[in-house]
Amino acid sequence: MEIVNFEEKFLDDIIKIEEKSFINPWTKDMFLSSAKNSAVKFRILIKNKTVVGYYVISSVADETEILDIAVNPDFRKQSLGKSLLEDIKKEAAGKIFLEVRKSNVAALNLYKLFNFEEIAIRKRYYKNEDALILRLVKEII
């Protein structure tokens, strides 16, 4: 298993995972635009030569926002989400923020393992569902 920087050759696999994972998936153009942004890190999780997950983060000053993160549903429950979050912690600046559907119990449990705390709610952020805003303050060693 390895985590590598985005290359366009991975895009079709990423789109398939995105469409399986989200009600309102990102488009190819959204991913390509993010990949060109110098404030963004776009990393891909490869297992046995297969794209099994990815994340997109944006960092400004001492804050990082997780813009998108997903693991292929066929590969979930293998600690791959943990691997992605560990890599995000290494790549991120200072505080890490994200929004997550209030009903996404699996994701919320993962974020709690990493000590993310709920700091706010965005009402109807996902059309008819609230988003929880989570924050992780990285430990300074």
Domains of the chain: 2-137 (3.40.630.30)
The pLDDT, as a whole number, for residue 84 is: 97
Percentage with pLDDT > 90 across the chain: 86
Compute the average pLDDT of residues 61-87: 94
d(CA 108, CA 125): 16
Q: Is 99 a catalytic residue?
A: yes
Catalytic residue among 63, 91, 99, 129: 99
The pLDDT, as a whole number, for residue 139 is: 67
The pLDDT, as a whole number, for residue 38 is: 92
d(CA 71, CA 44): 10
Residue type, 38: S
Residue type, 87: D
Q: Which residues contact 118 (CB under 8 A, 6 or more apart)?
A: 132, 133, 134
Q: 29-36 — which CB contacts under 8 Å span 24+ positions?
A: 31/6, 31/56, 32/8, 34/58, 34/67, 34/68, 35/6, 35/8
Q: Exposed (0-12), middle (13-18) or buried (19+): which is 11, by Cβ within 10 Å?
A: middle
pLDDT, tens only, 29-57: 999 999 999 999 999 999 999 999 999 99
Q: Is 54 a catalytic residue?
A: no
Catalytic residue among 18, 54, 55, 111: 111
Compute the average pLDDT of residues 87-116: 93
The torsion angles phi and psi of 78, rounded to 5 degrees, stand at -125, 15
